[in-house]
Amino acid sequence: MRVIAATNRDLREMIEAGGFREDLYFRLNVFPVASVPLRRRIEDVSLLAHHFLQRACQKFNKPGVRIPPGQLDILKRYAWPGNIRELENVIERQVIVSQDRRLVFDDLLSAESGRAAPASLPAATERGPLPEQELSRRQHDNAITALMQSAGKVSGAGGAAELLGIKPTTLFSRLRKWGIEPADYKVNDKAS
């Protein structure tokens, strides 16, 4: 008989605290496989999201559904406490409810705001300097937030560049480098 078991807990710690039997641990610990959580490999979100989108479109017979770049950025900013299964379920749910063949994930960030907020930039710098990749990711996320607040407006009064305190040409250059389309953040006025 073979048993395949998975946990997100530190079993060694639990053994020391008396919360898990040591003999059971040694019976189960034949071939341990450690997996890095999705929140620590955000670069995989895009690839996985498109894979799950393709599967969900086939499963529910909804061809042509797509994830706009701005919505993909939301997926990358989410912490994914439920890991890859949560991503798959979120994609599947949005394919089911999508009306205009464009997936929307705005509810993810509002749901996440109910949980504890991640450490702010000053707290992170107290632990030491930020690696270049983390700094770049934060600039990217900050630009997305500014685009959302300015409804896709980059330059001029109330534009994302003004909110960020940088020149519009600098922001346009960064957006082009990141493959971000400001038009994807424009407010859709269908209701009026």
DSSP annotation of 61 reads T
Domain count, the chain: 3
Range of the domain at 43: 38-112
Distance CA 131, CA 108 (A): 27
The answer to whether position 125 is within a domain reads no
Assess whether 24 and 45 both reside in one domain.
no
44 and 108, same structural domain? yes
pLDDT 10s per residue in the chain (192 long)?
Answer: 788 888 878 888 899 999 999 999 998 888 888 878 888 899 999 999 999 999 999 999 999 999 998 899 899 988 888 889 999 999 999 999 888 888 988 877 665 555 444 433 444 445 567 677 777 778 888 888 888 888 888 888 888 888 888 888 888 888 888 888 888 887 654 443
Asked if residue 4 belongs to a domain, the reply is yes
Q: Do the domain assignments include residue 142?
A: yes
> How far is the CA of 125 from the CAs of 60, 121, 122, 131, 134, in angstroms?
46, 6, 5, 10, 11
Amino acid 28: pLDDT:
87
Quick check: 184 and 73 in contact, CB under 8 A? Answer: no
